[in-house]
Amino acid sequence: MRENLRAKALEMRYLKGMTVTRPIRNLALIGFMGAGKSCAGRLAAENMHFTFLDTDNVIEARAGKAISNIFQQDGEPAFRDWERRIVEELTRRDKTVIATGGGLPASEANLASLKTHALVVCLWASPETIWERVRAHAHRPLLNEADPLAKIRQLLAEREPYYRQADVLVNTEMRSVREVAQQVIHQFHMAQSAHR
Ligand code: S3P
């Protein structure tokens, strides 16, 4: 509950303070695993008549194997290299909603690159909510741990300074995917009209 209030306060501050003064062609969703980037992103793209792109899917298609196999066979640094390369390519996109892997923005270079062409929106959820959402899925190699909730807390704490650099923070607690998508679209339109 305290975590939820903190997220709400953070979100209010971001929404009020949003001033984006650069051209925006795309919408990038960042945030932790289970924050809802893919579900909300797909819905937002559909509504906006934008293309939807999930960086994890692109990597899997290019590498010809599942993310868990990349981690297992090639190691995490190899996966982060894939992310770096995909981020580079994203600079050429137009009218695209991009759902990024949870760890992709935990790099100043990746974040800076996203900001050259996209409104960067962070979807936020507490560690407990994230665990509830991801516990049924076994495909996330970073959570194959004896105590996954502790791992979520640790990673989230490490990544918070990056996630906070998003242009907008949207709290996904107690919100449906549809509500999150609507909020994201609203923020995108506001950012675009502010720049016009
Ligand atoms: C990761 C998140 C995953 C995927 C990979 C690593 C992370 O993406 O990129 O397992 O470092 O947080 P989702 O956030 O889409 O689950």
Looking at residue 16, what is its pLDDT?
A: 46
pTM as predicted = 0.91
Give the HSE-up count for residue 172: Cα atoms under 13 Å, Cβ half-sphere: 30
Name residues whose C-beta falls within 8 Å of residue 153's C-beta, 6 or more positions apart in sequence. Answer: 127
Centre of ligand 1 to C-alpha 33, Å, is: 6
The answer to whether 193 and 24 are in contact (CB under 8 A) is no
Q: How far apart are the first and last CA of the chain?
A: 39
**pLDDT tens-digit series, residues 90-112:** 999 999 999 999 999 999 999 99
Answer yes or no: is pLDDT of 21 > 60.
yes
Both tokens of 112, joined, read 């800076």
Looking at residue 119, what is its pLDDT?
A: 97
Question: Relative to the CA of 68, which ligand 1 atom is closest?
Answer: 10
Looking at residue 196, what is its pLDDT?
A: 63
- 54 in contact with ligand 1, CB cutoff 6 A: no
Give the Å distances, CA to CA, from 17 to 4, 11, 21. Answer: 20, 10, 12
Centre of ligand 1 to C-alpha 62, Å, is: 16
Name residues whose C-beta falls within 8 Å of residue 176's C-beta, 6 or more positions apart in sequence. Answer: none
